[in-house]
Amino acid sequence: MKILVTVKEVAEVYDDFEISGLEVAESSLNYTLNEWDNYAIEEAVSFAESNDDVEVVVVSIGPQRCEETIRMALAKGADRAIRVWDDRLTEQSLVSPNVKATILAAVAREEDPDIVLTGVQASDDGFGATGVALAEELGYEWAAVVNALDIGSDSSVASVHRELEGGIEEFVDIELPAVFTIQTGINEPRYASMRGIRRAQGQPLNVKDLTDLGLSESDLDSSIHLLSMNEPESESEVRFLEGTPEETATELSGVLQELGVKE
Amino acid sequence: MSVLAVAEHRNGEIRDVSFELITAGRELAEDRGEPLHVVVIGNPVDHFASELNLDGVDTVHTFDRNEEFNHNVYLQVIVQLVDAIDPSTILLPHTSNSLDFAPALAVRLNRPIVTDVVSIKTEDGLIVTREMYGSKVETTIGIRSDRSVITIRPSEWDPTIAPGKAAVEAVNVSIDEDAIRSTVTGFGEVAAGDVDITEADVLVSVGRGIDSEENLSLVFDLADALDATVAASRPIIDNDWLPANHQVGQSGKVVSPQVYIAIGISGAVQHVAGMKDSDTIVAINSDPNAPIFDIADYGIVDDLFDVVPEVIEQFDL
């Protein structure tokens, strides 16, 4: 069995940040593995550890900078990795879910996995759409917002729990091959071991561009474009308590007592 | 052309997001001079149709199917309905179920999709607003296509309650049962347990800022000092530091205590959805830009490990 895991290196914005044009200034950003993808990697790797003949392949769309993050996925136990990049992607103000799905589908067609795991969403742009769009591109079945995954012994059906709102979950049987978008909390992601990190340096990381994948510039056509980026205006009516911790704590205690806390 | 809103229901009732969806749909339809169509798939579909017959809705399309939700069925019905009425914009609520079929719908119809939008304007094309980086940044996106799929964030539009004069029409489509490759086998509750945070008058709620499981004792000490109940945001539950019945938010419990004290909680929209109706909200967070301060009544921008022990001391005197 082969499991393909899509991972994304996401940008986190520092508490104090600046926006320049249509981007957050590079100096305000910290790059890291998308939290949801970390759970997807764990789900694939732990399944591979407890079953025979399971290959875990990681794919990521991103510039060379991402290789450190991709190596982290390898260090956690993935077998090999593919990075897709093309300078033409940097010319886009935003890479739409449809374009990401088109690129990932081209990789998936080459790899022919039984299962594709993605995160529910990425913490930076938060579209939450790429995984299910990818399933439709591939003609795979799918389930979104999965918080429990049980892959059947005959590899034809998986039983999943989908997280709905309000603490409700839905139980669904899904025919394979399928794409599952993985929710946080589904497992306990491991930390990479020192041995894993050393081993990851020598593991295969193939780099492909659009031409390698049989795609052309028209596959990057997107009808959605970023027009502006700004800090949201706060409609806050918050009263900030100021001073040393002792002063703010004293003032807060007064407020709480007035509100009737611990009468 | 028209605007098509896809209604969502659960346990035999239309969900509140669907009434908000009708407001967004009506505003967009008026801007564009197009009729507003609503589609609802499920059972009892006549009951759903009468609930959705609201101000601004021109037609409610119904498809009777004795199944709560199946993305394959939704896709087939909506694709055939779109063939018939050619809507410019397909609007859906940004929910778990929409995440499970809206992106596939967009791909199948070859339309762009923009999710989790908080406002929609009609100019040359559509211009939508959505947030990035956990609500720290707001962006506007232009959609240069006459036809699109948009999911809207819950609680951003007021619900429509005024009755309407819509025509109700059964959708005339055929379902290819062989194309249905998923089966819903049941439902369950994630958050069962003995603590009911929805009953508490005072909640001390803890988030990612607490850093480690060991530090939780500080929060329990504060709750003891205030006679309060401990609640938490999602990362604490994901880490198994507290059981799921403590979780406040979209996927957890919706609470409205007299006092809600948010400690080390940034205030992601999913969390805010579960506590914004609290009478008084107090937030302690080291990041002055944390979205929690947008809805807080009182705020302290400081290290929680410095402030919380002082508060405990005040009450223990």
Task: Tell me the pLDDT tens digit for each residue of B60-118.
Answer: 999 999 888 999 999 999 999 999 999 999 999 999 999 999 999 999 999 999 999 99
B288/A97 Cβ within 8 A: no
**Both B55 and B154 in a single domain?**
yes
A256 closest CB neighbour out of B237, B259, B295: B259
Does residue B207 form part of some domain?
Answer: yes
pLDDT of residue A144: 98
Does residue A254 form part of some domain?
Answer: no
Name the average pLDDT for chain B. Answer: 95
What does the pLDDT profile of chain A (263 residues) look like in tens digits?
999 999 999 999 998 899 999 999 999 999 999 999 999 999 999 999 999 999 999 999 999 999 999 999 999 999 999 999 999 998 888 999 999 999 999 999 999 999 999 999 999 999 999 999 999 999 999 999 999 999 977 779 999 999 999 889 999 999 999 999 999 999 999 999 999 999 999 999 999 999 999 999 999 988 999 999 999 887 788 999 999 999 999 999 999 999 999 86
Task: Tell me the pLDDT tens digit for each residue of B133-161.
Answer: 988 899 999 999 999 999 999 999 999 99
**Both B173 and B233 in a single domain?**
no
Residue A84 CB contacts under 8 Å (≥ 6 apart), including other chains: A59, A60, A61, A62, A103, A107, A207, A208, A209, A210, A213
**Both B167 and B259 in a single domain?**
no
pLDDT of residue A93: 87
Does residue B147 form part of some domain?
Answer: yes
Number of domains in chain A: 1
DSSP string, A83-117: EE--HHHHTSSS--HHHHHHHHHHHHHHH--SEEE
How far apart CA B272 and CA B298 sit, in angstroms, is 15
Boundary (domain end) residue, out of B152, B179, B206 = B179
Interface test with A, best of B306, B311, B317 (most A CBs within 10 A): B311
Domain CATH number, residue B35: 3.40.50.620
B311 closest CB neighbour out of A163, A174, A249: A249
**Nearest Cα residue to A49 out of A41, A37, A39:** A41
B115 closest CB neighbour out of A129, A169, A171: A129
Domain CATH number, residue B290: 3.40.50.1220
From chain B, pick out residues whose CB is under 8 angstroms from the CB of A226: 139-141
pLDDT of residue B247: 95
Q: Is the pLDDT of residue B194 over 80?
A: no
Element (H, E) at A40: helix A35-49
**Nearest Cα residue to B159 out of B16, B7, B3:** B16
Does residue B9 form part of some domain?
Answer: yes
Return the residue of B nearest to A179 by Cα.
B100
**Both B158 and B31 in a single domain?**
yes
Task: Tell me the pLDDT tens digit for each residue of A139-185.
Answer: 999 999 999 999 977 779 999 999 999 889 999 999 999 999 999 99
A231 closest CB neighbour out of B137, B202, B296: B137
pLDDT-wise least confident of A37-41, B47-51, B269-273? B269-273
pLDDT of residue A262: 81
pLDDT of residue A91: 86
Task: Tell me the pLDDT tens digit for each residue of B19-32.
Answer: 999 999 999 999 99
Looking at chain B from residue 148 to 187, which residues have their Cβ under 8 Å from any Cβ of chain A? 148, 181-187
Q: Cα distance from A189 to chain B (closest Cα, Å)?
A: 9
> Is B247 part of the contact surface with chain A (CB cutoff 8 Å)?
yes
Question: For B245, how many CA atoms within 13 A lie in the half-sphere containing its CB?
Answer: 11
pLDDT of residue B191: 64
Element (H, E) at B120: strand B119-122
Does residue B86 form part of some domain?
Answer: yes
Does residue A105 form part of some domain?
Answer: yes
Residue B205 CB contacts under 8 Å (≥ 6 apart), including other chains: B230, B231, B232, B233, B248, B260, B261, B262, B263, B265, B275
Number of domains in chain B: 2
Does residue B190 form part of some domain?
Answer: no
**Both B120 and B233 in a single domain?**
no
Range(s) of the domain holding residue A128: 2-220
pLDDT of residue A92: 87
pLDDT of residue B68: 87
pLDDT-wise least confident of A87-96, B48-57, B163-172? A87-96
Does residue B94 form part of some domain?
Answer: yes
How far apart CA A78 and CA A70 sit, in angstroms, is 10
The number of beta carbons lying within 10 Å of the beta carbon of residue A237 is 9
pLDDT of residue A154: 76
> Is A245 part of the contact surface with chain B (CB cutoff 8 Å)?
yes
**Both B172 and B226 in a single domain?**
no
**Both B223 and B79 in a single domain?**
no
**Both B171 and B273 in a single domain?**
no
Does residue A116 form part of some domain?
Answer: yes
A136 closest CB neighbour out of B108, B135, B297: B108
Q: Work out the percent of chain B whose per-residue pLDDT is above 90.
A: 91
Domain CATH number, residue A188: 3.40.50.620
From chain A, pick out residues whose CB is under 8 angstroms from the CB of B103: 97, 101, 129-133, 136
**Nearest Cα residue to A146 out of A124, A157, A131, A156:** A131
From chain B, pick out residues whose CB is under 8 angstroms from the CB of A228: 139-140
How far apart CA B268 and CA B249 sit, in angstroms, is 9
From chain A, pick out residues whose CB is under 8 angstroms from the CB of B251: 163-167
**Both B55 and B141 in a single domain?**
yes
Range(s) of the domain holding residue B115: 3-179
pLDDT of residue A232: 86
Q: Which two tokens stand for residue A143?
A: 């389930």
The number of beta carbons lying within 10 Å of the beta carbon of residue A119 is 27
**Both B108 and B206 in a single domain?**
no
Can you tell me the mean pLDDT for B304-311? 96
Does residue A262 form part of some domain?
Answer: no
**Both B105 and B160 in a single domain?**
yes
pLDDT of residue B192: 65
From chain A, pick out residues whose CB is under 8 angstroms from the CB of B289: 15-16, 231
**Both B44 and B171 in a single domain?**
yes
